[in-house]
């Protein structure tokens, strides 16, 4: 990005440490970063302004951060519609085991396009299925993110505990432990960029307590710490998972994961629905993060995560779409609303979560969970220019005076502009980096090819 971009006349929710907001404010972007943010118009006499945006009727927020997803699942949406997690997985594994590189590339492009159009500027893809001979699946995801222009954490997953060893996945869907570890190390060395403005980070991410061996968990933790990258997995998602851990290991999922070296400020876990008070204390004590996925938890009848308790204990919490086979909508801005609504169905009722806490989960909270809060998650000078202008003067929002309430409680707000490092990715609700209809056609074709392969 050359020159300065000035955005003026919009409401601004900075989501900084003090929740600073401006009813009418400005932003100045320069060199891929935020140079200034404040109330009223931009300072007069700024040189080198190449673009000036009158954002009247809009709210500016940090770009949304999706902390948990499985991009490949875009091809298997709508399956096992009335199943809980374990039955849904048993129905899905045989189909998923037929994926290949072109399928994953098309699914990743569609997943990323859908999210970007809804204001996501950073996303995590947790990919844990690597069928023999399927090609370079992680490379396909990374190529797709580069093409769409969204920052990516590629979480290199793995499963090595097949059904014959007491795991949930069928034997044909798992890798050998040492192969998974070697491929994960290769992925970090090939793709991980530790730079503050990185477009691609890699995390080490064995799939879940019921699909990986204790050896893989322990050695993954050692590997990630040796390479200086983060750790991600699923944890405490369902009552059935807790039962599995008690039967097999004589303890709950959090105690089991802690025994394998899996609590710490460099770890985040998806779901964390079935947490005891002691589990929450352990997460808070160690700085372990949570990717809260309210729609997926509802779709799979997993339960209501204790987000208000996690937040009051000081646990870092972000939001996740989760795979689109368990959240067919595939968007994150709708999860702001769903997080608030679902939390209010729990014991804290109307005191569960405010609209501003919901926005924080999707922005600053997510940045902290993926270890990028120094450069992402709030609109502050020096941070990367990842931001969204939400249009709030249209039919869906014009009568809600509080812009944050309009964004969180109203219908999905149109995205007038989304930038990543100051570069526009979405304008006037349309993706600039790809032809949405072509992305949809390619994903549809690959979904049919996958269904045909699975039927053979
Ligand atoms: Zn997941």
Instruction: Tell how far the Cα of 270 is from the centroid of ligand 1, in angstroms.
Output: 6
Task: Work out whether strand 58-62 and strand 387-391 pair parallel, antiparallel, or are unpaired.
Answer: antiparallel
Instruction: Tell how far the Cα of 6 is from the centroid of ligand 1, in angstroms.
Output: 38
Residue 142 and residue 153 in contact, taking contact as beta carbons nearer than 8 Å: no
Quote the pLDDT of residue 275: 98
Instruction: Tell how far the Cα of 327 is from the centroid of ligand 1, in angstroms.
Output: 10
Instruction: Tell how far the Cα of 27 is from the centroid of ligand 1, in angstroms.
Output: 35
Residue 161 and residue 208 in contact, taking contact as beta carbons nearer than 8 Å: no
Give the C-alpha separation, 128 to 422, whole Å.
32
Residue 12 and residue 59 in contact, taking contact as beta carbons nearer than 8 Å: yes
Give the C-alpha separation, 315 to 282, whole Å.
9
Taking the CA atoms of residue 190, residue 196, residue 202 and residue 206 in that order, the dihedral angle to the nearest 10 degrees is 150
Instruction: Tell how far the Cα of 124 is from the centroid of ligand 1, in angstroms.
Output: 11
Q: Which residues contact 272 (CB under 8 A, 6 or more apart)?
A: 235, 236, 237, 279, 283, 290, 292, 305, 310
Instruction: Tell how far the Cα of 69 is from the centroid of ligand 1, in angstroms.
Output: 6
Quote the pLDDT of residue 223: 98
451, containing H or E segment: helix 436-455
| Structural domains of the chain, ranges and CATH numbers in brackets | 4-61+376-431 (2.30.40.10), 64-369 (3.20.20.140)
- For the chain, give percent helix, strand, coil, nearest 5: 40, 20, 40
Quote the pLDDT of residue 219: 98
Instruction: Tell how far the Cα of 10 is from the centroid of ligand 1, in angstroms.
Output: 36
Quote the pLDDT of residue 45: 92
Instruction: Tell how far the Cα of 281 is from the centroid of ligand 1, in angstroms.
Output: 23
Taking the CA atoms of residue 143, residue 147, residue 149 and residue 151 in that order, the dihedral angle to the nearest 10 degrees is -10
Give the C-alpha separation, 297 to 65, whole Å.
19
Give the C-alpha separation, 232 to 371, whole Å.
11
Instruction: Tell how far the Cα of 91 is from the centroid of ligand 1, in angstroms.
Output: 16
Residues in the chain: 456
For 29-72, write each residue's pLDDT tens digit. Answer: 999 999 999 999 999 999 999 999 999 999 999 999 999 999 99
User: What values do phi and psi take at 35, rounded to 5?
Assistant: -90, -40
Residue 293 and residue 321 in contact, taking contact as beta carbons nearer than 8 Å: yes
Q: How far is CA 439 from CA 76, 134, 141, 325, 424, in A?
A: 16, 21, 14, 18, 19
Instruction: Tell how far the Cα of 59 is from the centroid of ligand 1, in angstroms.
Output: 30
Quote the pLDDT of residue 441: 98
Instruction: Tell how far the Cα of 158 is from the centroid of ligand 1, in angstroms.
Output: 13
CA atoms within 13 A on the CB side of 209: 31
Instruction: Tell how far the Cα of 68 is from the centroid of ligand 1, in angstroms.
Output: 6
For 156-193, write each residue's pLDDT tens digit. Answer: 999 999 999 999 999 999 999 999 999 999 999 999 99
Quote the pLDDT of residue 50: 97
pTM of the model: 0.98
CA atoms within 13 A on the CB side of 32: 8
154, containing H or E segment: strand 151-158
Structure tokens at 273: 């629905």
| pLDDT lower than 50: segments of the chain | none
Strands, E assignment, 193-345 = 200-206, 231-235, 267-271, 289-292, 317-319
Quote the pLDDT of residue 413: 98
């Amino acid at each position: 990005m050359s020159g300065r971009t000035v955005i003026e006349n919009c409401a601004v929710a900075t989501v900084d440490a003090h929740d600073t907001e401006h009813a009418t404010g400005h932003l100045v972007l320069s060199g891929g970063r935020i140079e200034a943010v404040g109330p009223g118009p931009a300072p007069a006499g700024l040189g080198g302004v190449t673009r000036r945006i009158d954002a009247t009727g809009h709210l500016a927020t940090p770009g949304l951060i999706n902390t948990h997803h499985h991009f490949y699942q875009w091809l298997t949406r709508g399956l096992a519609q009335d199943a809980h997690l374990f039955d849904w997985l048993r129905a899905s594994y045989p189909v998923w085991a037929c994926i290949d590189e072109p399928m994953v590339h098309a699914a990743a492009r569609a997943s990323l396009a859908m999210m970007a159009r809804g204001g996501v500027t950073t996303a995590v893809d947790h990919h844990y299925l690597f069928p023999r001979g399927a090609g370079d699946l992680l490379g396909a995801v990374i190529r797709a993110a580069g093409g769409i222009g969204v920052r990516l954490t590629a979480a290199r997953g793995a499963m090595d505990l097949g059904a014959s060893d007491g795991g949930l996945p069928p034997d044909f869907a798992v890798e050998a432990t040492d192969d998974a570890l070697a491929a994960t190390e290769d992925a970090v060395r090939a793709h991980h960029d530790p730079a503050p403005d990185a477009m691609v980070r890699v995390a080490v991410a064995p799939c879940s307590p019921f699909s990986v061996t204790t050896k893989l968990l322990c050695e993954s933790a050692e590997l990630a710490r040796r390479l200086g990258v983060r750790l991600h997995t699923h944890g405490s998602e369902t009552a059935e998972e807790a039962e599995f851990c008690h039967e097999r290991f004589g303890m709950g999922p959090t105690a089991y994961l802690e025994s394998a070296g899996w609590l710490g400020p460099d770890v985040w876990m998806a779901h964390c629905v079935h947490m005891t008070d002691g589990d929450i204390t352990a997460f808070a004590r160690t700085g372990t993060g949570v990717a809260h996925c309210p729609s997926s938890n509802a779709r799979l009848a997993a339960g209501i995560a204790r987000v208000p308790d996690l937040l009051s204990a000081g646990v870092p919490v972000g939001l996740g779409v989760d795979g689109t086979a368990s959240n067919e909508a595939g968007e994150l801005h709708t999860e702001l609303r769903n997080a608030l609504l679902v939390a209010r169905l729990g014991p804290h009722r109307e005191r569960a979560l405010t609209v501003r806490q919901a926005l924080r989960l999707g922005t600053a909270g997510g940045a902290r969970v993926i270890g990028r809060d120094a450069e992402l998650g709030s609109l502050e000078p020096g941070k990367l220019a990842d931001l969204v202008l939400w249009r709030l003067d249209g039919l869906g929002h014009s009568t809600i005076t509080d812009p944050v309430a309009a964004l969180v409680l109203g219908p999905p707000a149109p995205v007038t502009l989304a930038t990543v490092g100051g570069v526009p990715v979405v304008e006037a609700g349309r993706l600039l980096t790809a032809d949405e209809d072509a992305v949809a056609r390619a994903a549809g074709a690959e979904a049919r090819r996958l269904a045909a392969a699975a039927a053979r």
